Structure 1
């Protein structure tokens, strides 16, 4: 395959700082120890021909490089066509094909090696698997939750069932591991990632599908819960089995001590903390008023307090109903910045398409929400939880509504024939990586010259 690159006279580095790793393991890596180097490779269908095809120049940040096409043909970098003498920035992990055809030319992955300073800063963390197990079921955490103030961790389903039974029998909820009074419980996304990595490393630790289904059916903790410590509403100190000191301040909820809508919090009432305003509301699973956003599972209090006819006061924080309401009641006046994977060029094209139709953004979104209701849209990539259950009547927070708008605008765009696009967009070729392209985020010219509102087609015949 490749031979050692020829230096173009640049200053050499002190060490090998990068490699080109070929996709074909029969060939050796190309080690790069010069700040600027020209790479020559053999053509796979010839045993004698050499192909001088690129020059790689190290960037000043030492974490990236510039690649220039030195061949007479096009090359591909991260799915983007690079013509002769053109340059593009490459980073660790970039995929490079040394010619215009993947069948006849070698492909590489660009790897930046850590320097001496970086190596000294790297820290490898090991964890005993026994420390990642739930003390209730004795298995690796599944959808891990953390309780406080003791900070012990459990499966969501295991602790949810423990919580339910504790409320039936005790005035206080005690930690299953240390018996401290639990005052707070929430999902722990950091430990969730650790648990997933452990299961990837050792598949024998995975539960059966039946066990997972049972745990999921028990799980009720969707957002942060404030658990009553067993004190009365007047603030009497509760006795716990470990003599834990308990905060005597009342919960900041209007229904702690006052009845609204036929309900008053008692000493066992669990509270939810609103993700918009930080205020509290009782967790009530037996009412029709939504308390959680179906897109992100976070708790929001606007709809609940509106249903209880409780208005804002200085003593209790609560947010407006506008922060959390059914999809059909939201309005939109601008394209979200997250639309089309944050590609501003594609957003402008979409704005022009809507203007050419003589319609408003709200009109277009209303039409595509109707299509969503009629299940005319593939929901595979919908960036919301419970995607299959989403309808126009589903309550969502403002953030999840913007994610839905971005998802619907993708389908709106791909429904428009190319010849109906604005002139600057109608003749663009599709990017191989489509909406998943990473280059569009750091290469302005590539983001503008290629269409990214399309499915990835890398590897298929062009």
Structure 2
């Protein structure tokens, strides 16, 4: 039988799922080296690989139909079509039909050895379940503790999270404010007396309120009562009540005695707003950039020779800029360490990062042994590949950074983007290495179909170790 030919004249579920109808389920092989089998609505016959060897030969070996014998939509019925028995959840099946559910294990032959093991899964089952969720709610818990009726335009107060009618709470708030001697003091929650910090409309509970009224029309208030409540309602958006103390993140600046008497430096966004540094002082209303590293501010200066944003991620970092302006962290806080944002050629690396090769520790170990075998230091190897990168000898499509074509060894990048850059260079270091120079335990491994994009390598150590993942995805194509 040729590869791709079925042992049955019936159409195969895996051959053209799109043509047959929407995919409703799939068979997931235990070995990710083999493709999943999709089951279409109008095509019940499963045509797939039966054995791990056999040169890619496929056969129509079973039939799976939606809905079990009990009519449950979350189950299905499987019937053996092959001349041999199959195993379903540990039970040997000849020709009879049996029910299966998501998670059922199916062996495509009479024994596990020499046959593929599949797991049955229904596509989109979780989404279907979500639409059928019903909320059971005691109506007494959906009543306002002020008017003792069902909420109307419900609002929620924080931090206690009690709920009231908008009109009821607004009137309570008005009266509390009128009777309070301390106008800065927050109103107390009508139910638990906790100081209310904020109040806002609760759209989720409003939908529940409407659903209750549809089911129990007797709880509907009169038009006059609703009109009165709405005339009281004053909560239109989230409202913060009382005086909240907000901690300032602005920089503290050195100042002379004269300046201390006349200027409040805490109002300045950055050091150059209050004084001249590096021949520059911010003009009033000048735009500023928030630093992604320390949260401080620096003036947005496209004219400066020192970049203020990482080209790899477009985030702002202030360390290099303030260093160029003669401002250091001992004088002004917060300021990023200069090491957080440096030129690629000025960086030094002494060990392979744990994040290299997608965090696959087996591939990292192989790379470390390859470096050790070369007799060169890691920094020397990285420097060699940076030269190739600058000369555009490398395909940059796998480099997961912004503006990849503009990046050179003189580009300023943050630590996170530099780690991605190192991962990219070590990938090319590995794929360019002849197989005979790899460690013996790595030289004879086959490459995973999904290459560096394989997700199984992250949660199955045996798969990560068995197959090579420092390669391009082929998905079975040579």
Shorter chain as denominator, the TM-score bin is 0.5 to 0.7
1:303 to 280, 297, 320: 320
2:66 aligns with one of 11, 14, 31: 31
Task: Give the aligned partner of residue 38 of structure 2.
Answer: 22
CA offset digits 1:327-373 (Å, max 9, x no partner):
01111222222221221111111111111111222121111111101
SS of alignment partner, residue 396 of structure 1 = strand
Aligned to 2:442: 425
The whole-number CA distance in structure 2 between the counterparts of 1:356 and 1:347 is 14
Which residue matches 1:434?
A: 451
Query: Are 1:274 and 2:291 counterparts?
Result: yes
SS in structure 1 opposite 2:270?
A: coil
What is the CA-CA distance between 1:30 and the residue it aligns to? Answer: 4.0
Deviations 1:40-73 (A, max 9, x none): 565xxxxxx557666469xxxxx97374544389
Shift of 1:444: 1.6
The structure whose Rg is larger is 2
Contact 2:356 2:423 in 1 (8 A): yes
* Worse-superposed segment, 261-270 or 296-305: 261-270
Q: Residue 113 in 1 paired to residue 135 in 2?
A: no
Q: Of residues 91, 114, 134 in structure 2, which corresponds to 1:84? A: 114
Gaps of 5+ in 1: 5-16, 43-48, 58-62, 75-82, 93-109, 123-225, 227-233, 235-246
| In 2: Cα distance, 1:433 partner to 1:32 partner | 33
Helix, strand or coil: the match of 1:425? helix
**Alignment-derived partner of residue 419 in structure 2:** 402
Please report how far the alpha carbon of residue 249 of structure 1 lies from its aligned counterpart in structure 2 after TM superposition: 5.5
- For 1:289, the equivalent position in structure 2 comes to 306
Relative to structure 1, the CA distance from residue 380 to residue 91 in structure 2 (aligned partners, 3 Å threshold; closer, same or farther) is farther
Aligned length: 290
Q: 1:341 to 1:71 in 2, by over 3 A?
A: farther
Is the contact between residue 3 and residue 30 of structure 1 (CA under 8 Å) also seen in structure 2?
no
Are positions 1:65 and 2:103 aligned together? yes
Go from structure 1 to structure 2 and tell me whether the alpha carbon gap of 1:443 and 1:324 turns closer, same or farther (over 3 Å shift): same
For the 8 Å contact 1:3–1:40, the answer to whether it is kept is: no
Structure with greater contact order relative to length (CA < 8 Å, sep ≥ 6): 1
Partner of 1:456: 473
- SS state of the match for residue 398, structure 2? coil
Asked whether the 8 Å contact 1:343–1:447 carries over to 2, the reply is yes
Q: Give RMSD over aligned pairs.
A: 3.8
8 A contact 1:54–1:70 mirrored in 2: yes
SS of residue paired to 2:274 = coil
How far apart, in 2, do the equivalents of 1:276 and 1:27 lie?
55
For 1:364 and 1:444, how far apart are their aligned partners in 2?
28
Which residue number in structure 1 is paired with residue 344 of structure 2?
327
C-alpha displacement of 1:300: 0.4
Q: CA deviation at 1:22?
A: 3.3
Contact 1:40 1:50 in 2 (8 A): no
Alignment equivalent of 1:317, drawn from 334, 352, 365: 334
Give 2:268's aligned residue.
251
Secondary structure of 1:359 counterpart: coil
**Unaligned ranges ≥5, structure 2:** 1-9, 14-23, 28-36, 45-63, 91-100, 135-248, 250-258
Q: 1:117 to 1:27 in 2, by over 3 A?
A: closer
SS of residue in 1 equivalent to 2:273: coil
